[in-house]
Amino acid sequence: MNPKNFHPESLMMSHGYKPEWSEGAIKCPIFQTSTFVFKNAQEGKEFFELAYGKREKSPGEQPGLIYSRLNNPDLQILEERLCLWDQADECAVFESGMSAISTVLLEFLRPGDYLLYSMPVYGGTDHFINKVLPQYGINGIGFSADETFEEILEKTKGHSIKLVYVETPANPTNALFDLELCRKIADHFSSENSYVPVAVDNTYMGPLWQHPLLHGADLVVYSATKYIGGHSDLIAGAVLGKKELMQRVRTLRTFLGNMAGPWTGWLLMRSLETLKVRMTQQALNAEKVADYLAAHPKVDKVYYLGHLAEGTNQYKIFKKQLSCAGAMVSFDIKGGEKEAFKFLDSLKLFHLAVSLGSTESLAEHPATMTHSDVSDSDRQKLGISEKLVRLSIGVEHADDLIWDIKQALDLV
């Protein structure tokens, strides 16, 4: 299948699919079907034995298709392709990033357990941790990027941490968390009969620029709505990781029934073919935009990973964990909400919308939009002020993006 150790981008058009399965069609068709016909009763029995974990797979045996809540070719092939980028054993695709995240949290936490999580996390994740999980007797303890191992142990004293959940780079300030440190904390709370997994939301770096499984994480979660989908036309999520943990995630997905449908799976396979070229161009554009912003007199501060000062702790984490500065650029505009809104309302090419990672460039105001639910004191602590604007850079010509930013700043 992979004779030369091809790079993932070389395999996104073909991996896991055989044209002879589908009348020679070069592309995997959309298997818009709820159920699959067994050749005979014995085959049905064997497929179910595997699906319900009643026995181990025998060498070379392929799990058979049963019912689209359990498996479907458009999801299975997509999952195999996603595994290549992160070098994961297994992947499960979900109908949204939030369903991927909430399934992981529900599978690895039980009443009485504590969850250690990085701050800030995505708004929906924050809501699930702080408003939903406490109703099930599960509580979260947050930590920020500047806290040390000792400080984190101090604040978790007396609590049984059962999962470490990290989002890095953090949204919208690009603060980086050290995954090696997160692994060390999880090991501290692990015992012989209770392993504490580290789960990382890698949405901000897509599957291209950061591979958390290679830095001590056990699970990676994505909002596939963002870079993986990349065209602002679908909602989906994914979880990847080690086999034993993924079997638990997949089983809960089967019973919550929150897998993606075949049409979404097909769209995501199409998106994966251009993932590398899209993201590469987005990062090149982002660098130019960030440099332009940093030199502009109406800009106070730029939050861009390519501008981290050498020798700082953040720079060290960047060098260790990331292969690229990404395509998310935030900046403080001189002034406050009035100036930020004037800028946003004057843009002609950027779209004023939340979400990120898409082919078109987007701009938004975190304090009143994506992060309006975060408490005032947390917003202040995390640097999410009234003057902060977040940009997601797309694949347009960089000169046009800079022209747009210039004319909008001129009007402020």
Please pick, from the candidates 68, 168, 171, 258, the single residue that binds ligand PLP as defined by CB under 6 A.
171
Closest to ligand PLP by CB, 198 or 409:
198
Rg of the chain on CA atoms, in Å: 22
Site for ligand PLP in 56-115 (CB under 6 A): 96-98
Q: Which of 19, 22, 23, 18 is nearest to 1 (CA)?
A: 18
Closest to ligand PLP by CB, 189 or 204:
204
195 Cβ neighbours under 8 A, 6+ residues apart: none
Concerning whether 201 is annotated as a catalytic residue, the answer is yes
Question: What is the smallest separation between the CB atom of 399 and ligand PLP, expressed in angstroms?
Answer: 28
Please pick, from the candidates 47, 85, 122, 177, the single residue that binds ligand PLP as defined by CB under 6 A.
122
Q: Which of 326, 378, 303, 310 is nearest to 118 (CA)?
A: 378
d(CA 412, CA 376): 26
Q: Quick check: 237 binds ligand PLP (CB under 6 A)?
A: yes
d(CA 133, CA 115): 10
Site for ligand PLP in 196-215 (CB under 6 A): 201, 203-204
For 105, other C-beta atoms within 10 Å of its C-beta total 23
Closest to ligand PLP by CB, 125 or 361:
125
Closest to ligand PLP by CB, 51 or 240:
240
Q: Under rule CB under 6 A, how many of the chain's residues touch ligand PLP?
A: 16
Torsion angle of the four alpha carbons 373, 379, 384, 385, in this order, in degrees rounded to the nearest 10: 100
Please pick, from the candidates 13, 153, 235, 349, the single residue that binds ligand PLP as defined by CB under 6 A.
235
Concerning whether 122 is annotated as a catalytic residue, the answer is yes
Given the residues 27, 67, 69, 316, the one annotated as active site = 69
Closest to ligand PLP by CB, 235 or 398:
235
Concerning whether 292 is annotated as a catalytic residue, the answer is no
The distance between the two most distant Cα atoms of the chain, rounded to a whole number of Å, is 74
DSSP-derived secondary structure for 50-97: HHTTSSPPPTTPPPPP-BTTT--HHHHHHHHHHHHHHT-SEEEEESSH
Given the residues 17, 122, 165, 222, the one annotated as active site = 122
Q: Quick check: 226 binds ligand PLP (CB under 6 A)?
A: yes
CA atoms within 13 A on the CB side of 68: 15
* C-beta separation of 235 from 225 below 8 A: yes
Please pick, from the candidates 72, 225, 271, 282, the single residue that binds ligand PLP as defined by CB under 6 A.
225
Q: Quick check: 124 binds ligand PLP (CB under 6 A)?
A: yes
Q: Which of 122, 126, 220, 117 is nearest to 177 (CA)?
A: 117
| Interacting residues with ligand PLP (CB under 6 A) | 96-98, 122, 124-125, 167, 171, 201, 203-204, 223, 225-226, 235, 237
Active site residues: 69, 122, 201, 226
